[in-house]
Amino acid sequence: MNEISDKEILDQFFNGDKNKSFSLLLKKYQERLYWHIRKIVVSHENTDDVLQNTFLKVWKYLDKFKQESSLYTWLYRIATNEALAYLKKNKPEYHLPISENESEFKDKLTDDNFFTGDEIALKLQTAINTLPEKQKLIFNMKYFDEMKYSEISEILETSVGALKASYHIAVKKIEVFLKND
């Protein structure tokens, strides 16, 4: 079954049934945005909160969407913005020294019922968590989501060159972490 296009969703929203088009938009994007947010905020419960906020904002502002960017890009930007704002507001270990962050992060993940990764996955997530937020974003979008640099560039409004360099540095840091841990 072919996935509905963004154009059809928007046509339906602006010229037809708003509720129906929003349901179609949810169906198409909820899972993608969930995983994007999850990699930023880590816990399932926090992701659920942020995802709800994201779609509430989408519902509220879709009629003002000027289509200067693609719907896909606009949705990802809102999700990214909401996730980063949530972290700034709620991340308790935000102000702790890095070493305390690491062990606290590892413990939280180990205790999380919705983390079932093995020892390597735990190490990898801990390594990723040490990266600055934007570098973490870039790494996750490139490594796990396998997005093209051009797509990431549109979403984060950062040049492809800067993204490539940032990803390269992130990879080096993670590899050092994995070797030493």
Partner 1 sequence: MSELDNIKKETGFKVPEGYFDDFSKKMEDLIIEEKKPLGIYRMLKPLLSAAAIITAVSFLSYFAYNNNSNETSNQTAEALTQEEYEEEIYSEEFIIDALANEENNYTDTIETNEEIIEYLEDEVSYNDLLAEL
Positions that interact with partner 1 (CB under 8 A): 19, 22-23, 26-27, 30-31, 34-35, 38-39, 42, 44, 48, 51-52, 55-57, 59-61, 64-66, 68-69, 74, 77-78, 80-81, 84, 109, 114-118, 120-122, 124-125, 132-135, 143-144, 156-158, 162, 164-166, 168-169, 171, 174-175, 178-179
CB 44 within 8 A of CB 51: no
Contacts 24+ apart (CB under 8 A), 55-60: 55/26, 55/30, 57/82, 58/22, 58/25, 59/22
The 3 state secondary structure assigned to 86-98 is: HHHHHCHHHHCCH
Check: CB of residue 109 under 8 Å from CB of residue 151: no
Question: Can you tell me which residue has the tokens 């072919």?
Answer: 2
- Which sign does the torsion angle of CA 91, 96, 99, 103 carry? negative
**Smallest separation, CB 149 to partner 1 (Å):** 14
Work out how close the CB of 10 gets to partner 1 at its nearest, in angstroms, rounded to a whole number.
15
Q: Write down the least CB distance from residue 7 to partner 1, Å.
A: 18
In the complex with partner 1, the residue whose CB is nearer, 57 or 93, is 57
Residue 130 is classified by DSSP as: T
Cβ nearer to partner 1, comparing 96 with 122:
122
Which of 81, 101 has the CB closer to partner 1? Answer: 81
CB of 38 to partner 1, least distance (A): 6
